[in-house]
């Protein structure tokens, strides 16, 4: 992508409305734009990051055996009357009427709709387990939308829903998601701690929130420090190994961790003082087992091996991609801007032409751009007619992992400078060496 032809509206001034660093940096780097309170457009740079986050979420859901579909944002109120949540959900739910005066709503979550799909098609325990997920916009009319896309009214959620014959099987489905979540957050460059959690309007009694530690987090969390050293389950984890998954769950829940709603002061105080962690955190995922709460009233039943009908045991599993993007920034930035982990960076490298119009600089930049693009890398080429200082500031702000700096003096020796955004380390190497290093 040539920056002169791209759409990346960088702001020079610090936006006044932004209270936390991620919100400030997302606005400054032209990733998002607020359209009305708590409702955002994702501009091209932001969209690239969001897509990368979604793809990692998707890969790990698929690996665990969950199956993707796509349900609509608008739902009929009738379904929610069946489960009894239409009245109960309150003002957070945006209620709408269509031209026939039929009550509709913008889905804040999808338990009812997915239960309806399930009951239409699945009749036998032989078709279980089943886990269906989608990545779709939700709307919750939050009283205090704030911090940009961290807590917005319209937001993206990956929500998965599992169906099993028995509670025991449902716990195994829960464990699969638990493991998939550990892997997902790790691939996003985050250390998320699973904590016993309150279930709120989703319901049930077995639930964990996945929290990443950040001073600006909205949740107050209490845990053992040991989490930092736990191993993340590997990519070849066997999701059919029931005991193996349970062992991972048991290990990760063996030490104390809870949000303030579930906090047990006595249990926390039992941890030796130097090993206690009391901090703030951001909830990036939340998983629930709620048994037959929806399947019972909505008649989602299957025939069991005993020939009788059984209401299925369900769980639901949410991740917030539009919250994860600012959460990653909260965890990874410096005074000059964002430092993207490679896995979600909008571009792998940025080529900075310090003297656009200079024949040697232009030609080296074109060579680098063509070779790295051909190698399948996402490359941003800053070919604008701007001062070098402005270009350096832009590159640091948008946080691309590698910067290739092409200036008239070094290119006279056939060399360029490669700067690592995270470590600040610089190397002066030939154009060919830069291509070899970065194309790999
Ligand atoms: N149906 C269940 C799980 S699928 C559910 O709705 N769970 S939730 O309410 O905990 O939301 C799941 C995830 O969505 C949260 O962990 C969070 O990452 C994200 N999320 C929730 N509310 C917002 C919001 N207002 N803005 C941004 N992300 C949000």
Structure-model confidence comparison of residues 134 and 202, the more confident one: 134
Q: Is the peptide bond before 333 cis (omega within 30 degrees of 0)?
A: no
Mutation test of ligand 1: which of 281, 320, 327 has the most ligand atoms closer than 8 Å to its C-beta? 320
Give residue 387 CA to ligand 1 midpoint distance, Å: 43
Which residue's alpha carbon is at the smallest distance from atom 22 of ligand 1? Answer: 151
- How high is the pLDDT of residue 76? 97
Global confidence as pTM = 0.97
- How high is the pLDDT of residue 169? 98
Q: Is 108 a pocket residue for ligand 1 (Cβ < 6 Å)?
A: no
Name the helix (H) or strand (E) containing 398. Answer: helix 388-398
> Which SS3 state, helix, strand or coil, does residue 56 take?
helix
Is the C-alpha dihedral spanning 188, 192, 196, 199 positive or negative?
A: negative
**Mean pLDDT of the region 99-125:** 98
Average pLDDT of the chain is 96
- How high is the pLDDT of residue 200? 81
pLDDT digits (tens, 9 = 90+) for 195-233: 988 888 877 778 999 999 988 898 899 999 988 789 999
Ligand 1: atom nearest CA of 108 is 6
Q: Is 162 a pocket residue for ligand 1 (Cβ < 6 Å)?
A: no
Which residue's alpha carbon is at the smallest distance from atom 12 of ligand 1? Answer: 318
Backbone angles phi, psi at 306, to 5 degrees: -80, 0
- How high is the pLDDT of residue 198? 81
What whole-number distance in Å separates Cα of residue 152 and Cα of residue 68? 24
Ligand 1: atom nearest CA of 159 is 4
Which residue's alpha carbon is at the smallest distance from atom 26 of ligand 1? Answer: 151
Q: Is 283 a pocket residue for ligand 1 (Cβ < 6 Å)?
A: yes
* Residue-range domains of the chain with CATH: 9-71+110-338 (3.30.930.10), 349-439 (3.40.50.800)
Give residue 89 CA to ligand 1 midpoint distance, Å: 15
Is the per-residue pLDDT at 183 higher than 90? yes
Give residue 56 CA to ligand 1 midpoint distance, Å: 18
**Mean pLDDT of the region 338-362:** 98
- How high is the pLDDT of residue 363? 98
Which residue's alpha carbon is at the smallest distance from atom 19 of ligand 1? Answer: 320
**Mean pLDDT of the region 406-428:** 97
Mutation test of ligand 1: which of 20, 26, 157 has the most ligand atoms closer than 8 Å to its C-beta? 157
Burial class (CB in 10 A: 0-12, 13-18, 19+), 384: middle
From residue 325, give the alpha-carbon distance in Å to each of 71, 109, 126, 392, 415: 23, 20, 39, 23, 35
Structure-model confidence comparison of residues 379 and 200, the more confident one: 379
- How high is the pLDDT of residue 197? 85
The single-letter DSSP state of residue 42 is: E
- Print burial letters for 264-303: b (CB count within 10 Å at least 16), e (below 16): eeeebeebeeeebbebebbbbbbbbbbbbbbbeebebbbe
Mutation test of ligand 1: which of 93, 286, 294, 328 has the most ligand atoms closer than 8 Å to its C-beta? 286
Is the per-residue pLDDT at 148 higher than 80? yes
Q: Is 155 a pocket residue for ligand 1 (Cβ < 6 Å)?
A: yes
- How high is the pLDDT of residue 201? 81
Q: Is 320 a pocket residue for ligand 1 (Cβ < 6 Å)?
A: yes
pLDDT digits (tens, 9 = 90+) for 278-328: 999 999 999 999 999 999 999 999 999 999 999 999 999 999 999 999 999
Ligand 1: atom nearest CA of 160 is 4
> Which SS3 state, helix, strand or coil, does residue 333 take?
strand
pLDDT digits (tens, 9 = 90+) for 35-75: 999 999 999 999 999 999 999 999 999 999 999 999 999 99
Ligand 1: atom nearest CA of 283 is 16
- How high is the pLDDT of residue 228? 79
């Amino acid at each position: 992508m040539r920056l002169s032809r791209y759409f990346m509206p960088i702001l020079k001034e610090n936006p006044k409305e932004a209270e936390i660093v991620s919100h400030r940096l997302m606005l400054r780097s032209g990733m998002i734009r607020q359209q009305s309170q708590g409702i955002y457009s994702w501009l091209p740079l932001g969209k690239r990051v969001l897509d990368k986050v979604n793809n990692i979420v998707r890969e790990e859901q698929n690996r665990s055996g969950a199956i993707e579909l796509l349900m609509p944002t608008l739902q009929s109120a009738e379904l929610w009357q069946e489960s009894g949540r239409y009245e109960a959900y309150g003002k957070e739910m945006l209620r709408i009427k269509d031209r026939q005066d039929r009550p509709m709503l913008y889905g804040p979550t999808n338990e009812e709709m997915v239960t309806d799909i399930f009951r239409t098609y699945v009749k036998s325990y032989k078709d279980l387990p089943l886990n269906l997920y989608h990545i779709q916009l939700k709307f919750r009319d939050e009283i205090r939308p704030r911090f940009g896309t961290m807590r917005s009214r319209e937001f993206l959620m990956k929500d998965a829903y599992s169906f099993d014959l028995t509670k025991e099987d449902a716990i195994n489905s829960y464990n699969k998601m638990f493991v998939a979540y550990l892997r997902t957050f790790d691939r996003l460059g985050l250390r998320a701690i699973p904590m016993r959690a309150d279930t709120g309007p989703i319901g049930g009694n077995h639930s964990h929130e996945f929290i990443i530690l950040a001073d600006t987090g909205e949740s107050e969390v209490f845990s053992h420090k040991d989490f930092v050293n736990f191993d993340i389950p590997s990519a070849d984890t066997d999701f059919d190994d029931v005991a193996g998954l349970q062992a991972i769950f048991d290990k990760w829940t063996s030490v104390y961790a809870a949000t303030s709603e579930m906090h047990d002061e006595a249990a926390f105080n039992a941890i030796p003082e130097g090993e206690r962690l009391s901090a703030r955190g951001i909830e990036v995922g939340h998983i629930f087992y709620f048994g037959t709460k929806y399947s019972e009233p909505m008649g989602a039943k299957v025939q069991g091996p005993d020939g009788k009908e059984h209401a299925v045991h369900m769980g639901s599993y949410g991740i917030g991609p539009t919250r994860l993007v600012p959460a990653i920034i909260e965890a990874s930035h410096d005074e000059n801007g964002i430092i993207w982990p490679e896995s979600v960076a909008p571009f792998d490298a940025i080529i900075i032409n310090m003297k656009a119009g200079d024949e040697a600089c232009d030609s080296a930049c074109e060579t680098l751009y063509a070779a790295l693009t051909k190698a399948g890398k996402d490359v941003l080429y800053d070919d604008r007619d701007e001062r070098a200082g402005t270009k350096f500031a832009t590159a640091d702000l948008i946080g691309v992992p590698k910067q290739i700096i092409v200036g008239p003096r070094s290119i006279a020796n056939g060399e360029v400078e490669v700067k690592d955004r995270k470590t600040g380390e610089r190397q002066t190497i030939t154009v060919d060496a830069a291509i070899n290093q970065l194309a790999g």
